[in-house]
Amino acid sequence: MAFRFVHTADLHLDSPLRSLALRDPELAALVAGASRQVLGRIVDLCLAEAVDALIIAGDLYDGDATSMKTARFLADQLGRLDAAGVRVFIIRGNHDAASRITRELTLPDAVHVFGARAGVVTLDRPGQRVALHGLSFRDRHAPDSLLPRFGAPLPDAVNIGILHSSLGGAEGHDVYAPVRLSELRGTGFDYWALGHIHRRAVHEGRPLVVMPGIPQGRDMGEAGETSVTLVTVADDGTCSHEARPLAVVEFARCTVDLRRAEGWRDALERLRAAMSAARAPVRADHLVLRLSLMATGALWARLSRDADLLTTEAARIGAAVGNTWIDRVVLDGAAPAPSGGALGELSRIAAADVLASPAFAAEAEALRAALQRALPVDCRNAFDMLEPDLAPRGVAEVLARLTPEGPEG
């Protein structure tokens, strides 16, 4: 009888909001509650598919920032699995290595949390013995491979390893218990259930190595479809897998070319078409978009001048398109270059005397640095999110605001 399980990792349950862009309180509440909702959906999936086990390969929590309320919610959800006879196997990752919660909380009998020494749990099933190997490193940092701590595969059993690891390294993720794919290949295991990197990756072969990715993205840095992995292990140990998207919210970037748009109304119509096309393939209940608008000339000036109105219109279109929210509207493309009259002269002065001046650059940088220092620690990296060359951008915006509206309106 095939052994079936759901493999997930990096839920970061009740993780604090990191994005400054989620200023809309309704959207912030939606994103804040999404990790819990998705945990509920993972349990629903386990029950609907009548799987044998759920494997959570680290970073279930986000450190001690999470409260006992989070822990109680988790215990309730895992209790639903316990009642249905679904086993749960958990290791800790770098974010929940030292979490007090998992130590203090009494979890249902069906739940096994691996300790700091590699452990093996065997399940004797009709015609098949399954061995689950796991280990929870105590420290937030694991600069060396944890693979040598694992035992050998049990003979005459399907061997599943559970490991939190950055593999060979991934951009945006701390190095944690690094290990080469070839080393995992050499273990003689049948399946490696990994966690840590938030983007899904499947390495076919035997063992089958799966990094399931975060099941619910938290901001634009975790854009795209997210999922958990449903695995079936045949009696001979052959593993097959399928991605099951369960996200409540999906984040995506959307570029809209407005360079041929004829005025404001036409631009909004093109925006609606682009947002509708972005929404169509998304299976999550809600979509959060970062809009990049390409525009030139008078339209660029209008969009820049009426940025607040534009954001309001985009939000209205998003609601009409269906549960689509705006994270941020970024205006790209070329500002109009006024050639004649007073504006033309102002433009030339700005370019030649101001932007080219080292004294201005030094003053602008000092101002930026002072402003950054004055911000609360949590917000200081907001400057890194801003586009470079703020000064030319500022000049273009000032000129746009001074440009009289064309007949297009």
Q: Would you say 93 or 212 has its CB closer to Mn ion?
A: 93
The residues, ordered by sequence, that sit 6+ positions from 39 with a Cβ below 8 Å of its Cβ are 11, 13, 73, 74, 77
The DSSP secondary-structure symbol of 61 reads B
- Interaction between residue 153 and Mn ion (CB under 5 A): no
Query: Which CB sits closer to Mn ion, 196 or 328?
Result: 196
Nearer to Mn ion, 94 or 136 (CB): 94
Spatial CB neighbours of 62, under 8 Å, sequence gap ≥ 6:
12, 13, 14, 15, 16, 95, 96
Tell me the C-alpha distance between 195 and 9, whole Å: 5
Shortest distance, position 141 Cβ to Mn ion, whole Å:
11
Give CA–CA dist 405/298, Å, rounded.
8
The answer to whether residue 290 forms part of the interface with Mn ion (CB under 5 A) is: no
Instruction: Verify binding: residue 161, Mn ion, rule CB under 5 A.
Output: no
- Considering the complex, state which of residue 196 and residue 272 has its C-beta at the smaller distance from Mn ion: 196
Q: How far is the CB of 176 from Mn ion (least distance, A)?
A: 6
Region of 156 on the Ramachandran plot (φ > 0 left; ψ -120 to 50 alpha; else beta): left
* Pairing label, strands 239-244, 249-257: unpaired
Residue 98 near residue 61, CB atoms below 8 Å: no
Q: Is 66 in the site for Mn ion (CB under 5 A)?
A: no
Strands of 249-257's sheet, edge to edge?
249-257, 286-295, 324-333
Residue range at the interface with Mn ion (CB under 5 A); choices 139-147, 194-202, 227-235, 242-250: 194-202
Could you say whether residue 196 binds Mn ion (CB under 5 A)? yes
- Determine if 92 is a binding residue for Mn ion (CB under 5 A): no
Number of residues that bind Mn ion (CB under 5 A): 4
Which one of the spans 119-127, 179-187, 189-197, 306-314 is the region binding Mn ion (CB under 5 A)?
189-197
Read off φ and ψ for residue 204, nearest 5 degrees. -70, 160
341: number of CA atoms within 13 Å, CB side? 7
- The least distance separating Mn ion from the CB of residue 192, rounded to whole angstroms, comes to 16
Given the complex with Mn ion, which of 129 and 199 has the nearer CB atom? 199
Q: Which is nearer to Mn ion, 65 or 83 (CB)?
A: 65
Binding test (CB under 5 A) with Mn ion, winner from 8, 77, 94, 403: 94
CB of 136 to Mn ion, least distance (A): 12
Pick out residues in 46-65 that bind Mn ion (CB under 5 A): 59
Helix, strand, coil shares, percent, the chain, to 5:
35, 25, 40
The reply on whether position 93 binds Mn ion by CB under 5 A is: yes
Nearer to Mn ion, 228 or 274 (CB): 228
HSE at residue 21, side-chain half, CA atoms within 13 A, is: 19
Q: Which residues bind Mn ion (CB under 5 A)?
A: 59, 93-94, 196
